[in-house]
Amino acid sequence: MPLTSPSLLPLSDFPRKARETPPSYRQSHFQSLSQLPTCRIQTISWKPRAVVYHNFLSDQEARHIIDLAHEQMKRSTVVGNKNEGVVDDIRTSYGTFLRRAQDPVIMAIEERLALWSHMPPSHQEDMQVLRYGRTNKYGPHIDGLERVATVLMYLVGESPGPDLAPVSACECMYAEQSNPSACAKGHVAYKPKRGDALMFFDVKPDYTTTDGHSMHTGCPVVAGVKWNAVKWIHGTPFRRMRRNKPPLPDPGVCTDLHEMCDTWARAGECQNNPGYMLGSNTGIGNCRLACKDCELCDQGDQACYQRNRESGGFLVFDEKELKGL
């Protein structure tokens, strides 16, 4: 379906529920923002159209996003030939998604992004949270899939080298080019800084034609780690929001999620239907205990807990890498 130019809506036209935020959060939210350095918006390129919003997130918001996400983070996937997620060496991060309007903090961030982009929250996809360790990367690609803009929000402090290098960019007005990595040399590159948000447009101003200059790569991390949150924006409303979805179980805890798991395991379903029973690229298995894919842990046995996460392909979270956030 062709994309149309997005509507420019005043805040009063946004859904009422998306605008309602509990007073306790509004007060703490504005107090945290008042302590930030002055926010400023900086155009860094015209081809592609790329803009940095400095101090878009507060430290508290960055930490909140990580706290919501890290328990469910799994090896990232790319869209395969059958329009399904597949693991590929072009993308070696860990990631998960946070639902739109998942809680008041996420809603406030989505509203702020809507005011900046001039496209309402209903046009945004769920927030993808990504963690890149040393050497992790995302090779050259165009986001596509009828997206009109990509927004990367950086959650952890400065990385020693550039992150995003638009490989086809030109007409650059500003870019971080000091001590570029091998990946970034010769390209427009942006060095991540905690709290900043980078928005670039995937389409030309007609909101229909893909902008080839938007091809970009996530450079390999040369030291430390990189945590970011990604929002993709569409020119029209994106799917219906999923509300009141129950929280997912902790993959480090060995358990079955269905009363029929033992019966299915005896019938050979652990081998015949591994995606459901043991887990897939996109989620936790429903019958890992019955399939003997994990181990029951004694209370406080952190090594056992971590083994269960690793065997399921989930991130083993290390608080130290957040640098005191």
The stretches of 35-78 forming alpha helices (DSSP H) are 59-69
Q: Are residues 19 and 62 in the same domain?
A: yes
For the entire predicted model, the pTM comes to: 0.76
User: Starting from the edge strand earliest in sequence, which strands make up the sheet with 216-218, in order?
Assistant: 138-141, 216-218, 164-166
Q: Are residues 169 and 309 in the same domain?
A: no
Q: Are residues 202 and 106 in the same domain?
A: yes
CA distance 325 to 322: 5
Task: Indicate whether 245 belongs to any domain.
Answer: no
Question: Which tokens in the block code for residue 125?
Answer: 């996809």
Q: Are residues 90 and 222 in the same domain?
A: yes
Q: Are residues 42 and 183 in the same domain?
A: yes
Listed in sequence order, the residues at least 6 apart from 121 whose beta carbon sits closer than 8 Å to its beta carbon are: 14, 15, 18, 100, 101, 107, 110, 111, 113, 114
What is the count of structural domains for the chain? 2
Residue the block writes with tokens 């903090």: 105
Task: Indicate whether 252 belongs to any domain.
Answer: no
Task: Indicate whether 200 belongs to any domain.
Answer: yes
φ, ψ of residue 74 to 5 degrees: the values are -135, 165
Q: Give the three-state DSSP class for 55.
A: coil
**CATH number of residue 17's parent domain:** 2.60.120.620
pLDDT mean for each 10 residues of the chain (325 residues)? 38 42 48 57 86 94 96 75 55 85 95 95 95 73 82 78 48 49 66 89 85 76 85 90 76 95 97 93 88 95 94 89 81
Q: Are residues 230 and 163 in the same domain?
A: yes
Q: Are residues 178 and 283 in the same domain?
A: no
Torsion of CA 267, 269, 272, 278, to 10 degrees: -160
Q: Are residues 106 and 194 in the same domain?
A: yes
Q: Are residues 226 and 265 in the same domain?
A: no
Q: Are residues 229 and 268 in the same domain?
A: no
Task: Indicate whether 3 belongs to any domain.
Answer: no
Q: What is the mean pLDDT of the chain?
A: 78
pLDDT tens track for 17-35: 444 445 554 444 444 444 5
Q: Which domain holds residue 111?
A: 11-234
Q: Are residues 95 and 217 in the same domain?
A: yes
pLDDT tens track for 264-294: 999 999 999 999 999 987 778 999 999 999 9
Q: Are residues 97 and 40 in the same domain?
A: yes
Phi-psi domain of 122 (left: phi exceeds 0; alpha: psi -120 through 50; beta: other): alpha
What Rg value do the Cα atoms of the chain yield, rounded?
21
> Of the residues 234, 251, 276, which one is the last residue of a structural domain?
234
